[in-house]
A and B are shown apart, each in its own frame.
Chain A
Amino acid sequence: MRSLCVVFSASCEKHLTTTHPICRAGLFRTPLLRRSKSMDFILASLADGLLLGFIYGIAAMGLTLIWGVMNVINLAHGPIIALGMFTVYLLFTFLGIPPYLGVLLAAVFGLLLGIVIYVIAVQRVIDAPHLSSLLATFSVNMIIIGIGTAIFSTSPRNIDLQLWSISLGPVTLQGTRVVASFIAVLVTAGLYYFLYRTRQGKYIRAVANNRAAAELVGIPSNRVLALSFGIGAMLATIAGALIATFLPFNILAGGTYELKSFVIGVLGGLGNPVGALVGGLILGLLEGIVPTFTQTTWVPVIEFVLFVIILLVRPNGLFGAKQ
């Protein structure tokens, strides 16, 4: 039997394209062959992770912007991401609106939704202890999930969108993922421009820096806070909408991305939008690397252990500003 194996493995290696069933089953691959395959696997996995990382990045940016401006951790972030997914899905399935136009509409919807949530739930507890704002946003989470589950149930949905794909050697990049991460980069650039070059953006930064001082120089802080919450929610819906173009989802799917956003936010420093993008890329790469040496199911263990460690060692993030 042993000699047979050797014979087969030799012939497998020689004729890579052979169609012999034993070779095809991959039972007798030599170590050399296995290694080159795993190299391909690592590259493909890394590329996927990196592309996904940009989108994680903007989801986390929404969370971290809200934290940075008003010291509120938005526990309704996940459901808002899910609503972004469903906006694109519903527009596409029922009205036939193309998904990338849907992303734009989801962004507008997110902005308005965020402002509404701020006015109803956040405004009154903004100066209260953390427990109040955490619970207020969490009750918004429960309301959205409750109504969403009643309407859409929790069955998985997906948007059937096929684009081109590029092959670079062993790596095949899906068009949908490439476009989505490109949009994510554009959104980041847009946010940066908005925060640093426009009057409203400067207001937001001023309020984040020192609300009392901002009010003294005549900035309408409550309106600015509402706008910031709206933009935070908008980033969440954009992230959700982009994810929906290439991954299946349901109404509860936002929760996973919310938890990832926490991890990323802490990684990059809460309140630091650029840090969030870098944190997103790190997390994406991590998700790409981990499956190459152990089972995929260990990814969350590593993520959350990393999360807790970073919280303990550098609570302001890897490249966090001093506080």
Chain B
Amino acid sequence: MKTLKNHLGLITSLVIVILIAIAPIVSGNAASREVVFTILRAIVLASSLNILLGYTGYVSFGHIVFFGFGGYVGFYLITAQGQSLWVAMLAGGLVSGLLAYLLGKAILRLRGAYFALATIGVNEAVRAFINNFEPFGGPTGMTMNFSVYQEYGGAMKALEMSFYIMLVLALLVIVLSYVVRTSKFGLGLLAIREDEDAAEVMGVVAPDAKTWAFVLSAIFPGMVGALFFFKNGSVEPLDAFPLHTSIEMIVMVMLGGQGTVLGPILGAAGYQRMRGLLVTSPIFKNIQLAVSGGLLLLIVLFVPAGVIGWARQRWPKLRRVLQ
């Protein structure tokens, strides 16, 4: 019982994700399953980004590059090499991690705004490269032969399976996020966020810690990319590297509360819900983006700590539960 109590923060987070996912599992409604699928995808992406943005304090404006790159590699393995989805996801995660490692070694030397600019540059460079890279289909991308789904019991079954895999990924990423936050390594990251020079003086090997944080935050987006484009059936550069989604990920993390485990989950779920409502409402349909922008501006100006950060400040007793 004692250990359970110690990890109350983790349990709350996991329970909330399962609660989000439970409705379509029980009802078996395919439409609501798709909605929850996008929410879970947002949770994985936002929680991954949080390891870098929230814990380490480095803003990556091109984090979607790992999603797209992993997605492309996974897709290529499935269509051109005839590999299974499992291999594709594993490979997608690994190559994204590797890319992050190499990039991290290079661009994490930059601090603050320069790092943010470099990540935009990396995203655009990779997208422009894939646009010209013929094995990956160039600007038109690749499409999947429908027969691929036969292996998984037909397209319907494959869609359903993707949902459960995404749920598992979401739970895993939360465990990872929690473990990082409560570990000594995570403490080092938080120290870097507060003051990098001071952290170095205290014995945190900042370059290594930052690089590993970057790698950890890249692996899951790569796996999600492979899964997402497997389910999507086609991949093209504009879908795989939308600079805009990178920013949406940042909005989700900020909305929920950067540097907390639960924050990105609530932020992702809340943002996706709001976006869904805006897109379908007749009044806001056309200015959905403007409304999101206005909301973001209000958060940045008035509640920079996000919902969870604010709640933790307001009710210190809840801190054990809201991590």
Of the listed residues B61, B114, B121, the one surrounded by the most CB atoms of chain A closer than 10 A to its CB is B121
Binds A, one of B13-21, B32-40, B147-155, B290-298: B290-298
Given A125-B301, A138-B296: A130 in contact with B121 (beta carbons within 8 A):
no
How many B residues, CB 8 Å from partner?
43
Contact B304 A132 (CB under 8 A): yes
Q: In the complex the two chains form, what is the Cα distance from A121 to B300 in whole Å?
A: 9
A146: which of B59, B247, B290 is its contact (CB, 8 Å)?
B290
Given A132-B300, A136-B300, A297-B131: A146 in contact with B291 (beta carbons within 8 A):
yes
Binds B, one of A18-26, A37-45, A308-316: A308-316
- List, in ascending order, chain B residues with CB within 8 A of A307's CB: 118, 121, 125
A116 to chain B minimum Cβ distance, whole angstroms, is 13
Residues in B167-217 with C-beta less than 8 Å from chain A: none
A130: which of B116, B122, B139, B293 is its contact (CB, 8 Å)?
B116
- List, in ascending order, chain B residues with CB within 8 A of A311's CB: 107, 110, 114, 117-118, 121
- List, in ascending order, chain B residues with CB within 8 A of A163's CB: none
Contact B293 A73 (CB under 8 A): no
- A72 to B, closest residue via Cβ: B113
Contact B124 A259 (CB under 8 A): yes
Binds B, one of A6-14, A177-185, A298-306: A298-306
Determine if A140 is an interface residue (Cβ-Cβ < 8 Å).
yes
How many A residues, CB 8 Å from partner?
43
Residues in A141-166 with C-beta less than 8 Å from chain B: 141-147, 149-150
B245 to chain A minimum Cβ distance, whole angstroms, is 13
Contact B301 A124 (CB under 8 A): yes
Residues in A270-323 with C-beta less than 8 Å from chain B: 295, 297-298, 300-301, 304-305, 307-308, 311-312, 315
A131: which of B59, B106, B114 is its contact (CB, 8 Å)?
B59
Determine if A266 is an interface residue (Cβ-Cβ < 8 Å).
yes
Binds A, one of B69-77, B222-230, B281-289: B281-289
Contact B116 A140 (CB under 8 A): no
B289: which of A67, A71, A132, A142 is its contact (CB, 8 Å)?
A142
Determine if A262 is an interface residue (Cβ-Cβ < 8 Å).
yes
- List, in ascending order, chain B residues with CB within 8 A of A263's CB: 121
Given A73-B113, A312-B110: A146 in contact with B122 (beta carbons within 8 A):
no
Contact A147 B290 (CB under 8 A): yes
- List, in ascending order, chain B residues with CB within 8 A of A315's CB: 110, 114
- List, in ascending order, chain B residues with CB within 8 A of A128's CB: 304
Contact A308 B290 (CB under 8 A): no
- List, in ascending order, chain B residues with CB within 8 A of A146's CB: 287-293
B121: which of A125, A262, A297 is its contact (CB, 8 Å)?
A262
Q: In the complex the two chains form, what is the Cα distance from A145 to B288 in whole Å?
A: 10
Determine if A139 is an interface residue (Cβ-Cβ < 8 Å).
yes
- List, in ascending order, chain A residues with CB within 8 A of B106's CB: 308, 312
Determine if A135 is an interface residue (Cβ-Cβ < 8 Å).
yes
> Hey, what's the 0/1 contact readout for B117-140 against A, CB within 8 Å counting as 1?
110111011001101100000010
Determine if B82 is an interface residue (Cβ-Cβ < 8 Å).
no
Determine if A134 is an interface residue (Cβ-Cβ < 8 Å).
yes
- List, in ascending order, chain B residues with CB within 8 A of A139's CB: 293-297, 300
Determine if B51 is an interface residue (Cβ-Cβ < 8 Å).
no
Given A146-B289, A300-B124: A73 in contact with B116 (beta carbons within 8 A):
yes
- B59 to A, closest residue via Cβ: A131
Give 7 nearest A-B pairs by CB, closest first.
Answer: A142-B293, A146-B290, A146-B289, A304-B125, A150-B286, A300-B128, A139-B297
9 further interface pairs, Cβ-Cβ under 8 Å (given A135-B254, A307-B121)? A132-B300, A140-B293, A140-B297, A142-B289, A143-B293, A149-B289, A259-B124, A263-B121, A312-B107
Q: Can you give 18 contacting A-B residue pairs, CB < 8 Å? A: A73-B117, A130-B113, A131-B53, A131-B59, A136-B301, A142-B296, A145-B290, A145-B293, A146-B290, A150-B286, A266-B117, A297-B139, A304-B121, A307-B125, A308-B118, A308-B125, A311-B121, A315-B114
